[in-house]
A and B are shown apart, each in its own frame.
Chain A
């Protein structure tokens, strides 16, 4: 099992802890508005038809239901959306099929915005962000990847391509200027 996969599964653990009865203290009536603020469409118009779950490639593999996340958003059940929001691959297939014209993928992105601002950052995001500022790409090309590439008849991939240096500096400047490093907690990595 690769490192990235491990971090994915560990991010899901929170989801398994469920309350038996949901009382009002868990509901946030302004949650739908907040999602709208971060670029999601109005989740209140969702018909709960389940078309999005049916077409979702992730839903087929793990216990992740696009429709139920939207339902949590309608309800304002913040905590229930914590882990799963990170598994969406934003392939936008749900958006293609949605009869209510909501864009569930962008709702997931909005949920991530909200989570990060609340300080809920899963480890793999930090890993990816660190990779980005270190190597200029979010997935670190390690031996494992090069092994697969060799099987496929492809060349090894090199991290420190000389041309990358300039680009890398630019990425760091951008990450710093947008305060992304502070938000994610990788200030140490970015030395401009």
Chain B
């Protein structure tokens, strides 16, 4: 990453001036938490408290049933004021959850929030040593001793604030991206929505109807798409890619490549005369290859923006240098074959990633013979065949002979819940879309026999179980518990025989069907990998983007100011995607409304007199925080962009000159912890000596 403005030292801080921290001998307060029985069930907390009270510098030591409760916090505040405490050690849980709680707590007592040290005696002691209570108590005492030793050397730090650009970038124009952009736009923020395809709408635009209510997908989506395109606060950048993202929360600099569509968006009115005269016919990706489109096209009639795009690979002019029929016909002179990619520079405060999903593509030599038998199709192909605006006008046919199939089988869990292909997760929508499609087929052709080969049916959402019940009761759809083992085609009729064990009957069955529909699972979209890399997002084990906390921060990412919405985070249905988009929009808005963000002061510092400008830190930093600059004397030196620094300490540990110091993790502080750890309990004086020599 590059060089955002260095932070000015002045924009200050809501933290009150630290009191009492100038005293030379630290006055340390130790608070030991029982965490109900989580800690006290294993560790003898009163004993830990008693030992702590005898440690050097400790003026007060208390234990408490729930330190994080209001009562517990009040006790800390009271003890700090009464005993004039100026350093605080809290022995409780991991700092991940409650460090902010306790920082605010000691701030209320008039201390600098950074003179707090949390000792983790839950995750790192009581939970892992629940079989050895006495030794766990010993370890807890050791950990507290280390904490006390470090706390004595803590320095007060000041949190800084940076301004936030009140603009947002939404990556991905599916239903989640559209919803997030609309919400932010309605709140009055400027939004850029980047979509890589010629039209927004995502996969939802391809669907026929939606479960469980049976609303027509495009009928409920199209109004939103139009609203978005007309929204005064939203800039729609379709047929574009995010190239590069630099900066930090509140101040992201984004480069967006607008791919050349060879049609000027401002001139094209979407009349379609160009497509009429275009002589090139190719498969339409939007119709999953069942329908045709021209080389100049809009993917579907309701496309937004309704601007034509030339497909460079198939256009006759790009192939032969001739043709140009479309240019002759276009009355607005919108078509320009010489158009080139354009790169836009945007500045935004927050980013919402809604890159969505793609469906699993069955294996070339797989059991389900998707690539060998014509009458094996995927669920998304079925959606297009059932769609009233699809290639068959909503009339279900089978590909081999264009006839209406009489017997249809759905095969569930294709590309999901399969360890063999490293897809262990459930895609969460396949059960319901198969049930919904079974219902639609039955409504079109009531005589169709439908069998669903399932393993488990997951009908957990609102109205899902009712739909599952309805297709059985009203439509007589048969559910067959078993995973098909073998598919074989009748060469003449092109019908397909499925062999499977009906596991509830304990019998192997062989049955023939006219059409097989594979209920394919959901995968992270192709483009999401690149976006993830650009933004430094981490992935969950299933390959989708990881949220910051699975329960309490489900739309946040580890990168501040970047949020997730929709299937980019995990497979989900439309209501969940919309809900998450709204959550992401309001999380992003919260930052932009306040206009400024606090930057953690736990960063690193470079001692310019020691730095030789080798640049090792620049190479190693995962956040792009260090940069090389020329100082006043014209020498190359490293400088840290504080807003980007996460305080991980990688640079400090690797600096060959020891020029970099991580605040709150200085060599002195860490060595004091080590010394304390080795000073007693049979580790003896030797250990102590060695540690000191090490210092």
Contact = CB atoms under 8 A, between A and B. Distances in A.
A97 B485 contact: yes
Contact of B485 (A47, A54, A65, A100): A54
Given A54-B482, A59-B508, A99-B413, A49 B503 contact: yes
A68 B417 contact: no
A106 B486 CA distance: 22
A54 B453 CA distance: 13
Given A68-B506, A97-B485, A54 B417 contact: no
Nearest to A59: B508
Contact of B455 (A47, A53, A54, A101): A47
B381 to A, nearest CB: 23
Contact of B420 (A50, A67, A99): A99
A185 to B, nearest CB: 34
B508 A51 contact: no
Given A50-B483, A97-B485, A100-B419, A65 B367 contact: no
A88 to B, nearest CB: 16
Contacts of B417: 47, 99
Given A99-B419, A99-B483, A101-B419, A50 B413 contact: no
B424 to A, nearest CB: 9
Nearest to B482: A50
Interface residues of A, number: 18
A101 B485 CA distance: 15
Interface in B501-521: 501-503, 506, 508
A153 B636 CA distance: 88
B419 A53 contact: no
A184 interface: no
Interface residues of B, number: 21
A9 interface: no
Contact of A49 (B482, B499, B506): B482
Interface in A46-76: 47-51, 53-55, 59-60, 65, 67-68
Interface in B35-49: none
B175 interface: no
A59 B502 CA distance: 13
Contact of B506 (A65, A98, A100, A101): A65
A55 B482 contact: no
Given A60-B508, A101-B419, A67 B503 contact: yes
Contact of B503 (A48, A97, A98, A99): A48
B201 interface: no
Contacts of B481: 50
A98 B367 CA distance: 12
Given A54-B484, A55-B485, A59-B508, A67 B501 contact: yes
Contact of A54 (B413, B420, B456, B486): B486
Contacts of A98: 420
B242 interface: no
A49 B483 contact: yes
B186 interface: no
A54 B501 contact: yes
Given A67-B501, A68-B506, A99-B413, A54 B419 contact: no
Contacts of A67: 501, 503
A67 B417 CA distance: 17
- Specify which of B413, B483, B499 lies most central, judged by the most chain A CB atoms within 10 Å of its CB: B483
A53 B420 contact: no
Contacts of A59: 501, 508
A97 B502 CA distance: 17
Interface string B474-485: 000000011111
B116 interface: no
B657 interface: no
Nearest to B502: A50
22 contacts: A47-B417, A47-B455, A47-B456, A48-B503, A49-B503, A50-B481, A50-B482, A50-B485, A50-B500, A50-B501, A50-B503, A51-B483, A51-B501, A53-B508, A54-B484, A54-B501, A54-B508, A55-B486, A59-B508, A67-B501, A97-B367, A99-B483
Interface of B: 367, 413, 417-420, 455-456, 481-486, 499-503, 506, 508
Given A53-B508, A101-B420, 13 more contacts: A47-B455, A48-B455, A48-B503, A49-B503, A50-B485, A50-B501, A53-B501, A53-B503, A54-B484, A54-B486, A59-B501, A99-B418, A100-B419
Interface of A: 47-51, 53-55, 59-60, 65, 67-68, 97-101
